[in-house]
Structure 1
Amino acid sequence: MKAKHILVVIFLLITFSGWAQKSLFDAVNMTIDTLAINTPYSDFGPAIIEDELVFLSFSEKDGKKSDKPNKVFYDLYSTKLNAFGEAMGDRTRMNTVVSKYHEGPLTYCKNTGELFLTQSNWENPQEENMVFIKKNIRLGIVIYEKSGSRWSVKEKLPFNSSEYSVAHPTISVTGDTLIFVSDMPGGSGETDLYYTVRTADGWADPINLGPKVNSSGKEMFPFLNTDGSLVFSSDGLGGAGKLDLFYIEFPIRASSQRSTFAGEVNSPEDDFGMVVHPNQQGGYFASNRSGGQGSDDVYFLRFEDYVFDVIAMSSKTKEILPGTHVNIIDEEGRVAASGSTNDEGRLEVQLEGNTKYTLVATNEEYMEKILDLDMADKTGFVDGNLEVYLDPEFVFKGQVVDIMGNVPIPDALLMVSDGTKLDSILTDDKGTFTYNLESDKKYRVDVSAYNYFGTEIEFNTMGMDMGVFDYLIQLYSLDAGSRIALKNIYYDFGEWSLRPEAKRELDRLAKVLEEYPDIQIILESHTDSRGTDEFNMDLSNKRSETAADYIISKGISARRLEWVGFGETQLVNECDGSIPCTEEQHYENRRTVVEIRKSKVTRRAKGNIFYF
């Protein structure tokens, strides 16, 4: 593409009645660039297929220039596009879709993989190389599908006719609504725009788009943009010259209005065939205006601004959040846009394309949300809008990992209970999770994962300031050799009876032993340093035996368990009697540890995923 900018334009909205839907083209700054792909002949009908710009161009029969116009016919050519939608490199003839007929314009549906191509002479092959303006030659639309590296015919539209033309298709993103041009009987003028819907029974009868679009003149070259705009050309609706470009929302409603592109997008000559790149950063159109290289040339439209709505929503309820304040800051720290969302949770924003920003959204009952915006990448936009989800006052988030090396555990299950309801969360491939909490609630979270000994977490939001409960949850594997410090298996001083919280942990252990029948364990109990060595050794044996008896009472075979006491020989801190210690420090030493003596991972299924 040439670096030369031939003009700068501003899209102005010419109103006829209120348009309910905002269009990409409303008040957007744009520049127009010439392209190196143009020739002295006619080049027009741009379309975008994946990463290529496809267009029509006169082709010399047998590679030789002909003195007779009807010996020259249209073929399809293409050139590569970069990430910004700019044409790069030389033009190449598309040998994958070439025939002896006139070809194009066309449209491509990424969703279905289909190519909708205008072809002449599709019914009578004996009539060769005659252009569209010849009244005795009709145009029809043929649907192609990819077969290897080439395109092959799939079907022809059922209302193609030898009595009139059907041409210039544009297809909806879903592939079920086709708009086209035809001079079939019953229209408003020379050529009208029609639409048809594809159902299970095939393509429905065409419906005229009506007086908001069609005039007594020619309406041609429609294009359906992803923002809901239908762009087309007409010479019967008034304007700057012959064929001019217009747009209107589609589907067309009673409140819909037609708008035109003011400024120099429309010239005194023909301006037609506009398409917009999927990134909504620019597009292409054709014109035979002065200053070009040939009769018709293809021009690049570079969108300098991007207009969209920020929609603030609750990440918990998905409801809109009116009154959310939004600040958008550029890379220099300047405020590029600021305001609050309206009653519909929306704030209209206009930003420069190909620029990076930081968005900050705040709402009184929600936590601050910060997003990085790269306007060269529109993948985060939904229907041309940016949805911003704010988290409630409290969020439970974190990561579940293997305690040996903090390796992430995907698909770990977290059961979250607030006493009235129970929710489940699965960790992602990085072991991370997020869950929105409510204020003034007590929570208990049970964490489990395949081939791991689970755990539980308790916390509450009673009287707390808003914030994040961020946890690194470490689990012990059930492999042989693992040593698991059982949580809450503590004892009162000098006692060996189980506390209530200890029973919950032993219930978890019994469940693991039931689920993994090949596991064998040894229970090790410990005391603090107070009391004689003999007393502590006897006490620890009693504690270990008490824990084993409880597990056996849950139906676990005694042959799978061993139990032993170590007294005060393996303290976990320095409280050996030589220094003063708190009761809490002594409490840490009164514990039970499980060692996995034998383990064999058994074949289990989770959904369609099998573990071995």
Structure 2
Amino acid sequence: MKIQKLVYSALLLAVVLQNGYSQKAQVEAADKKYEDNSFVDAIATYERIAEKGYKNEKMFQNLGNAYYFNAELPKAEKWYGELFAMNKNQEAEYYYRYAQSLKSTGKYDKSNETMDQFNKKSGNDKRAKLYASHKNYLEVIKANSGRYTIENAGINSESSDYGSALVGNKLIFASAREGSTGKVFEQTNESFTDLYASKISPNGKLEEPKPFGGKNINSKFHESTPVFTKDGKTVYFTRNNFLDGKKGKNADKVTMLKLYKATLVGDTWDNVTELPFNSNNYSVAHPALSPDGKTLYFASDMPGTLGQSDLYKVAIKNDGSFGTPVNLGATINTEARESFPFISDDNKLYFASDGRPGLGGFDVFVSKIEQDGSFKEVQNVAAPINGPQDDFGFIIDSKTGTGFFSSNRAGGKGYDDIYKFAETRCNQQVEGVVTDLETNMVLPNAKLSLFNEKFELQKEFTSDAQGHYAFEAECGKTYYVRATAANYVTKESKVATSTITGKTNQPMALEKVGCQIVIGGDLAKCFGIKVIYFDLNKANITKEAAFELEKILDAMKQHPKMKIDVRSHTDSRQSTSYNEALSNRRAKSTIDWLVKNGINANRLTGKGYGESQLVNKCSNGVECSEEEHQANRRSEFIVTAMN
């Protein structure tokens, strides 16, 4: 947006301003306008000179910057292109701005090449690190796109309209349309913005906007980006440094942005006061409230800011006073611009940034706020909310999935327009098959329960004849699936659903309660005996082996007619003949121990199979881990008769 994409309409622009270097009077005059933030006039002068074939490195920098900071990125791309054609040895920041501008014209390959150069030049810049660690960002954004349908909100003018908030059945927003202050803002040649209100009819259509808040809210300078308390009786909003008829400036005669608060007295907005952490020397703008109304979020370039502007939060105390502002930290903020925060009712932080891999200009990003106040991984909201130019001011009703955002994308009515959107709800299905852990047979009629991350029961299901179950679930959520069945141990598994529409497979293999002895069954599996251990290269029964054999002994005494075939196996790490002989000796030692302890020999058979029945790939010459070899060193006690 032209007017105040964030706090750069004040100090940020002053930071990037350059002194005029041209020897020609026209260039000097344009530079003076540029330094005074009169970008529109400066652009016209610079371009007239450039059209005559005059080339000047500083002029191309200023032209590129003027369009870049006025959010006209396609035009910025043209002049940054001229700059780099003239001299590729530019400061790192120009590589970043050029890369961002290239995205606005769809030149993503060239943008990525320019970002690679920025990465080399910028050293420890977080923007470079984010790009380097997310080289596939376009594929990720593409995969997450299509979750919203958008349309023009129907209230836009030929001027700038942006930065909306909901209160009751009204949308409140900033506009430079005809009928606002009438004063012209030199940076844009548009009127200063006022706040307007548009009533939302029952069918969702927005009615004709009317000025909001009266003269106590709308001054002769900029007002924008309001946010309201739940009861609708308090509003926080952004305004130029202006109160009681006076316009404040810093030492460089730049007017900063400040946050103000007003309360509703009867039908009138009154008691306009500025917040105590404002300053004449830096900007504070674009307020947002936490769902409980106890925390105020905002954008600022105050001391301690990591980039050009950062997001902050401050506690609102019970008596209405404020705590000390806290920077949201490097998880959220970059060396570039973070602005326009919004906190949804489900405690997600939405914000605009041009410091993260995106589609161009400002993109909207989201991060879940955890209970301890930390932030989960930041994600790009993707298309169609985000596009090649500036997209910002995102607000959403998390219950309905509807909301509004602002953009200067092509096809709009004015410079910045407000769009409304509806979320195409992402659909996930958690499904799987319930089976017997030992036999892998499907288990019909098992009870499945779905719990959310707080272990609150959401749904229940009974597995069908094929053991299959399925739950409808939300995307990007953590759930717990619990399976219960008669004669089986209850099992619970954690499952995280994908952030895109699809299915999440969660098989549930259940272990039997106790031991059900059947002909052909392996008592070793029944009792969890993986192997009867012997000393290395020996067949003597150790104390550990005797402990395991006691389980087999007890089962055979409980079932006097049971007969067992003892089978001993080795891994492949000796010769075939050696392994066969060793396993035979171990099978014989096992049988001898059972006979010695009271089992009739005619109930026992046995054999050593050496390495002839490996359960995996680990044959001679194949590299395997110790764990994989261990799987082949096993003892089996196969039930051959029960009567």
Bin for the TM-score computed over the shorter chain:
0.3 to 0.5
TM-score by length of 1: 0.45
Q: TM-score scaled by structure 2?
A: 0.43
Higher strand share: 1
